[in-house]
Amino acid sequence: MKWRSGAAAIVAAAVLAGCSVLGIGDVRVRIHNASALDFDSVLVSFPRDSERYGAVDAGGRSRYATVAEAYAYAYVEVWVQQRRYEAIPIDWVGEERLSGGDYAYVIDVIDGQLHLELDRQ
């Protein structure tokens, strides 16, 4: 009986903590390069942390990174052949945080401008 009540307490604590112990509430973000250009490096700055995704080939996808807090858009810096492209958010006021799950920032370069779109995976 002690074991059951102890296990129930652990499960209850995990649920109350947003299931982070079990990894259920994790937000994982990756990059999908939708452009015809090879990205030499990609940096994404979220409200509480940043992630360097490295090189992402044209049409390719990066690895997932678990982040503490993310929104439908972020600061994104992409380098292509010594040229920097940026998407700069003003702020995240009034925006809804992403819930747990896998997401991709779909990035394209159109007419010299970086375009960013969120895709739930």
Instruction: Identify whether the C-beta of residue 107 lies closer than 8 Å to the C-beta of residue 85.
Output: no
**Backbone φ, ψ for residue 37 (5° rounding):** -100, 145
User: What's the pLDDT score for residue 92?
Assistant: 77
Q: Is residue 19 part of a domain?
A: no
E-assigned strand segments in the chain: 27-33, 41-45, 50-52, 65-67, 75-80, 83-87, 101-110, 113-120
Question: For the chain, how many structural domains are there in total?
Answer: 1
Q: Is residue 104 part of a domain?
A: yes
Between β-strands 75-80 and 113-120, what pairing exists: parallel, antiparallel or unpaired? unpaired
Q: List the CATH number of the domain containing 61.
A: 2.60.40.2890
pLDDT in tens, 59-77: 999 999 999 999 999 999 9
**b/e string for 71-83 if b means 16 or more Cβ within 10 A?**
beebebbbebeee
Q: Is residue 61 part of a domain?
A: yes
Q: Is residue 83 part of a domain?
A: yes
pTM exceeds 0.85: no
Q: Is residue 14 part of a domain?
A: no
Mean pLDDT of the chain: 86
Mean pLDDT across 29-45: 98
Q: Is residue 13 part of a domain?
A: no
| pLDDT higher at 23 or 69 | 69
Helix, strand, coil percentages (3-state) for the chain, rounded to 5, are 10, 40, 45
